Amino acid sequence: MSKIQKALQKLRDSNEAATAGGKSSGSTSAGNGGSETARSDAGRQHAVRVRTRYLHEGGAVDEELPNFSIKVVPATLHEQGLRPREEDIDTIADQFRRIKRPILSTAFGVGIPDSDNANVIMVASALPKTGKSFCSFNLATSIAIERDVGAVLVDADVLKPNISRAFGLHDRIGLIDYLLDPSVSIDDVLVMTDQHGIIVIPSGQQHQEATELLASRRMQQFVEALSRRFEARAIIVDTPPLLMTNEAHVLAEHMGQIILVIEAGVSPQESVRQALNSLNRSKPINAILNKARNISFGDYDGSGYGYHSVSGRGRKYANDND
């Protein structure tokens, strides 16, 4: 039995035991690296529950929630560079309200032409250390507090899985395990969090053939299945830098929308140009200008994030102190 199969069998045995005992599947605290397992609260008594959400069109959507849930330690998210400081949270939240609106409009808006996997949004960068994972998490958080939609956060940065580490899920089966082993189902890699109901998919094990796995038909089917199953959620996919690895280019072909995170005054203009030229320009492509200075907000000036619609659908700006 392979390492994946052993981990999968252990997970399923745990879920079956919890269900038989009238309790939910295991719940883990994100600050302990996934090593300490406890039972979920009494409010989650079934391994799978159905919740109703609503699309912008007003139709009701029933979705199955993950078997496995965790409680997240906010301090750990901050230490890992995903969560703002307490004094900055309200400011950051307001900024991402501006950023998410055109993204949600493209994904769910009435009168917007349908595109493949429009609710699947890739967050990438040309080079490392631009704040890409920070943007992925905070965009997912902002979307998750919407009344009509939720969020799924996928850690596809398989070489540097910051999101998986921050959530204490770095040693849990995830995306790569799903792509390697047909016996692993989508349900096996879904993790419900207490962060506004965000569902996280960890990166899984590292593998020398990650590029080939991400380019596989199974990956394409995975993205399409997520888009259909979570039709009332935006699926945020954190990917590796475009100019440093092959994985991000492969993933881009499966995405419905693309966001390029650019660090103002640091990301070389030529690298940004190369990254944009490597993408399929028929897809909606937007950019977040991170750590920008002297950004105008009508009667106000600020510094931090700037949001640019590369596809020409308008321009939004936001502000951050990261």
CATH number of the domain residue 234 falls in? 3.40.50.300
Q: Which two tokens stand for residue 6?
A: 């052993």
The answer to whether position 45 is within a domain reads no
Q: What is the pLDDT of residue 64?
A: 81
> Could you please report the per-residue DSSP string of 29-84?
EGGGTT--EEEPPTT--SSS-EEEEE-TT--EEEEEPPSEEEE--HHHHHHTT-SP
- Average pLDDT score over residue span 283-304: 58
Distance, C-alpha 180 to centroid of its chain: 21
pLDDT of the residue at 19: 44
In a domain, 297, yes or no: yes
If you average pLDDT over residues 23-50, what whole number do you get? 39
Q: Which of 8, 185, 153, 24 is nearest to 83 (CA)?
A: 153
Residue 20 lies in a domain: no
265, part of any domain = yes
Q: Is the pLDDT score of 258 beyond 90?
A: yes
User: Please, what is the average pLDDT of the chain?
Assistant: 77
Instruction: Spell out the residues 6+ positions from residue 227 whose beta carbon is closer than 8 angstroms to its own.
Output: 117, 118, 119, 120, 235, 256
- Give the pLDDT band (50/70/90) at residue 88: confident
User: 95-109 pLDDT, tens per residue?
Assistant: 899 999 999 999 987
d(CA 247, CA 257): 17
- In this predicted structure, the answer to whether residue 297 has a pLDDT above a threshold of 80 is no
Residue of 106, 112, 191 lying closest to 149 (CA atoms): 106
For residue 137, report the phi and psi dihedrals to the nearest 5 degrees: -65, -45
For residue 292, what pLDDT is reported? Answer: 59
Residue 65 has a pLDDT of 83
Q: What is the pLDDT of residues 42-76, one digit of tens each?
A: 333 333 334 444 444 455 567 788 989 999 988 99
> Cα separation of 189 and 167, whole Å?
14
Query: Has residue 255 got a pLDDT over 50?
Result: yes
Which tokens belong to 67? 């078997």
Top-ranked range on mean pLDDT: pick from 23-32, 46-55, 209-218: 209-218
pLDDT band at 87 (very low <50, low <70, confident <90, very high): confident
Say which residues have a Cβ less than 8 Å from residue 33's Cβ, sequence separation at least 6.
Answer: 168, 170, 171
Instruction: Provide the sign of the torsion angle of the four alpha carbons 135, 136, 139, 144, taken in this order.
Output: negative
**Cα dihedral angle (240, 246, 252, 254), rounded to 10 degrees?**
-110
Q: What is the dihedral of CA 136, 283, 156, 55, to 10 degrees?
A: 60
At residue 246, the pLDDT reads 86
Could you tell me if residue 39 is inside a domain? Answer: no
The count of domains in the chain is 1
- 14-18, 254-258, 266-270, 302-306, range with the lowest pLDDT: 302-306
Share of the chain above pLDDT 70, in %: 69
Which domain, by its residues, includes 87? 72-317
Asked, for residue 185, whether it belongs to a domain, the answer is yes
**C-alpha–C-alpha distance, residues 45 and 192, integer Å:** 14
Residue 159 lies in a domain: yes
Average pLDDT over every residue of 153-178: 95
Q: So what's the pLDDT on residue 290?
A: 74
Assigned domain for 276 exists:
yes
pLDDT for position 56? 43
Count CB-CB contacts under 10 A for residue 183: 13
> Which of 14, 6, 47 minimizes the C-alpha distance to 177?
6
